[in-house]
Structure 1
Amino acid sequence: MTALAQISDRRMRVDRRTKGGRHVEEIETALKEGRVGILFQPQFSCADGSLVGAEALSRWHHPQLGQIGIDSLFDSAMRAGQAARLTRHIAERALAMAAGWPDNLRLSLNITAMDLAEEDFSATILAAVKSAGFDPTRLMLEITEQALVSDIDLGAQRLAVLADAGIRIALDDFGAGFCNFRYLKRLPLHAIKLDRSMIEGVTEDQRDLAVLRGIVALADALGLSVTAEGVETEAQRFIAAREGCSVWQGFLGSGPMPSSEFARLAGA
């Protein structure tokens, strides 16, 4: 068992003794009753503005608390010992929905530290892709730097299995925290996804713009594409495109939307 898995196991045992029972019941009920919904945030080409895909984002429609975002949802799932089940549920549903999209669009899925700690993680993702009849080359898995801190070598091995099957891997939230450049060397990456903080000040601050240029130059040298997240103004979109980003997403284009709405946007 990895250090990450040991820590997670201890936390789960403690939580089960305190309030884990409530979390288990709530998560199981949410999954059974279909209260864990999937939204899709469109992603666009920086070159011509065309739609290139979407990131799947899960939401928990809690009967008392209303709509709960991904962080709180996975926190509750982890406390209940249901994180792997939740990831499998989201992956299966999102892939099934995306199977009806035009063939030129790709799907991005977020994965967590809990996912990488699961021994059968790679097999679970590959099984979900096969079951949905989804071309693995159209799938991008987004993993945050924080999720890899505990065991980068194990994470690299499990991600390599997926990359060998054609699935693309992106390092998400790049620039949000301390950047360990070992990730760029060790992981089978195809892309980096800039944290929104890397885009916010590029239209006003020359230092922010210089940082963006440096990151894009590094990515280009490593053969990685760059996605700009959190694009909210036309000026930000213009600079992201001018400086060499490949894809952008943000409220300038659209916020997260239901599957049916995205399907209409995609012409599916």
Structure 2
Amino acid sequence: MDQCQLLEFRVIACHELYPPAVRGATLWSSVPICNGTVGWQDLPRGLGQQPSMPIPVQIHDRRRRTDRRRSEPHPVSEDLAAALTHDAVEILFQPQYRTSDGALAGAEALVRWDHPEHGSLAGDSVVAIAQSGGIARRLARYIARMAMTQAAQWPDHLRLSLNVTAMDLFDRTFGEDLLDMLAGTGFPARRLTLEITEQALVADLDRSAERLRVLAESGIRIALDDFGAGFCNFRYLKVLPLHALKLDRAMIEGIATDERDLAVLRGIVAMARALDIAVIAEGIETSEQREAVRREGCETWQGFLGGRPMPGSDFAKLVGA
């Protein structure tokens, strides 16, 4: 599947998650309007000489055509729906390790789907296809259920990490469904970590915080994923019931060779320690990086050095389950 197709899926998914409310209205903007048709005849003269000036842009009504296209399922999303029905979407597990002694601490659950035409699709691609086809909720439940079922067979000290999207947080039944799946699979809530990205929080931080707080009270741990990749809004650290910060790989790449990168890591760890929040280092690819995060006080690490995402059967062999 090429990048243009993936971009199409993601744009449609954004419409589903954040539907535009500008039909029949004039929108003032100081940035380019790309997802709509601009009435160029309405643009003020002299625009070329004042590119940064806010200008009135008339958004023509194309919702009817967009809605019609959205109502027609994409063949790839239909294929994904069929794969979910037949349990043909695979859950992979990437190991996570304690820095203190190098022991296995758990794994992050990831998704992979082998499409007969487009080949192996992973992570964001599968989620984008599900969102564009209106089956994101079904995919999220599938991943959680399959991952919990397998993780329930692991030794009791190992944790499972699941990724949570914005759609999950906006879904009123997500928390209840998650707790039901924990009960149904027999996987303890105290061993589950939910990883939330900044993008999943920006639309409604207060509502997200409340829903995460309910889950945290049940024993589930909450981690802020990709920390350092976005705006790093420190309000998240105040409002959210966080147990861990998971550093984006961009925060890790240079720590073994660049003193400035190492200083940033040191500052983040010190702040997290003051807030009683653990730090997980993602993207560890060299022994030097692993030693640096251990020395600076990160509790857990994950990356290709410790193993690539693997099928559940291979991870079970790794843990002796």
TM-score by length of 2: 0.79
- Structure 1 residue 99 and structure 2 residue 152: aligned? yes
Larger helix proportion of the pair: 1
Match of 2:264 among 205, 211, 214: 211
* Percent of aligned pairs sharing the same letter: 57
**Whole-angstrom distance in 1 between the partners of 2:19 and 2:84:** 24
The alpha carbon displacement at 1:14 in A equals 7.4
Match of 1:10 in 2: 19
Match of 1:165 among 213, 218, 227: 218
Match of 2:118 among 56, 65, 68: 65
Q: What amino acid sits opposite 1:253 in the alignment?
A: G
Q: What amino acid sits opposite 1:266 in the alignment?
A: V
Change (3 A) 1:16 1:48: farther
- Structure 1 residue 231 and structure 2 residue 299: aligned? no
Deviations 1:11-44 (A, max 9, x none): 8x97663264125422211211222110000000
Match of 2:237 in 1: 184
- Structure 1 residue 27 and structure 2 residue 36: aligned? no
Match of 2:254 in 1: 201
**Which protein shows a greater Rg?**
2
Deviations 1:119-163 (A, max 9, x none): 111101111111111110000000001110000011011111110
Structure 1: gaps (5+ residues): none
Alignment partner of 2:279: what SS? strand
Alignment partner of 1:227: what SS? strand
Q: What amino acid sits opposite 2:68 in the alignment?
A: R
**Whole-angstrom distance in 2 between the partners of 1:87 and 1:128:** 12
**Whole-angstrom distance in 2 between the partners of 1:267 and 1:15:** 51
- Structure 1 residue 134 and structure 2 residue 187: aligned? yes
**Whole-angstrom distance in 1 between the partners of 2:18 and 2:264:** 39
Change (3 A) 1:36 1:150: same
**Whole-angstrom distance in 2 between the partners of 1:16 and 1:68:** 27
**Whole-angstrom distance in 2 between the partners of 1:48 and 1:66:** 39
Change (3 A) 1:40 1:205: same
**Whole-angstrom distance in 1 between the partners of 2:297 and 2:17:** 39
Cα pair 1:35 1:62 within 8 Å, conserved: no
**Whole-angstrom distance in 2 between the partners of 1:263 and 1:193:** 24
Q: What amino acid sits opposite 1:21 in the alignment?
A: P
- Structure 1 residue 77 and structure 2 residue 130: aligned? yes
- Structure 1 residue 262 and structure 2 residue 315: aligned? yes
Match of 2:104 in 1: 51
Deviations 1:58-111 (A, max 9, x none): 011111111101111111111111111110000000000000000010000001
RMSD: 1.9
Alignment partner of 1:116: what SS? helix
Q: What amino acid sits opposite 2:17 in the alignment?
A: S
Change (3 A) 1:15 1:73: farther
Aligned residues: 265
Q: What amino acid sits opposite 2:161 in the alignment?
A: S
Match of 2:170 in 1: 117
Change (3 A) 1:15 1:118: farther
Q: What amino acid sits opposite 2:234 in the alignment?
A: F
Alignment partner of 1:10: what SS? coil
Q: Which has the higher contact order (CA 8 A, sep 6+)?
A: 1
TM-score by length of 1: 0.94
